[in-house]
Structure 1
């Protein structure tokens, strides 16, 4: 069973080392690349104000967060939820850095000690689309992921959007499969390998009219090239 957790955080600012804190954690679970509904969404009291620029991004006020639990009281629950999973994060260094700082305050080991792997979709996107904008918003637009209800950045909503983006980013590498027996699929436009040896395919020969039409097309091409078409030269060599 392949268990992926698509993860996003919101924070009071940009620097965990300078005391900024995690105020929201949003996680979406995928098992065998399908949403399970076993998600995790938590708000935390950061015990400090958000920077004005950060507040304009996430809209989570001090008043709203005041009665929320502190991260340290929920740290073990977070670890147990994430344990053993592959984490899918956009710009992973940012979120992992903040979570590591919170875990350190709680007397726990760094995040990578509890999870199987951390995959950074920003790195993936830069490799697939070099020189292009690869923010989450840009990728949503590129893949046609609907973000019309996104007024503020929210960890849970962004994790849901990123899950859809991740499926699109990896479709060519690890495509969702159609059930051949039923023909049913939750995804559109998926290519499935089918063993044609199980079918008896008819061989259709060209008709006289089709052969004549084909020969006339070749003659027209040869005339347009001044008798220099490669297929005519090859015919001449084979006849010599």
Structure 2
């Protein structure tokens, strides 16, 4: 039996597919891996023995696969993922069978593969980080847990008790202020000239304050790019 040693490249991990050096397409069969298949990533170089009708993977040289670790987020100026091992961080629901390593990563991190969505049995989702900033985890507030989603792109402050925070503290009055009283004269002879007045409220006076018609922008200086996640 003729036995041939040859290098190949992993083109898929689920199912495991290898394209041998010199071949135009990946093999249509699943090779026998003598190393742990879970260690293999897309673009890894594998050393194969090819006896008749079978291919045995006996070694591995890690390919870059675009680099990075499973679950890593990476920013760049691209419209689509730069490598098949990466997916967009856009909230997409994926099949666990297609990306078992990323699903396992979420399972290990959150206790469930569908922390970001999906049914957790056959599907899971990647986080949707579009129009969001990244914050390094820490503290005991809203930033305490990895994977937490906080804040909103827009919000309003209604002119109501619920729309504003309560103001507490003491209110001080300014003292030593005087009211000017006109000098006594023949035309002001009784106290009623000063004490009696109308109990009817004066009509409101229309006012128009200057300013723009739109609210002020409070968006911090930023640079827009696109994030991808290492999935295979």
Normalising by the smaller structure, the TM-score range is under 0.3
What TM-score, normalized to structure 1? 0.24
* Structure (1 or 2) with the greater helix fraction: 1
Bigger relative contact order, structure 1 or 2 (CA pairs below 8 A, ≥6 apart): 2
- Name the structure where strand makes up a greater proportion of residues: 2
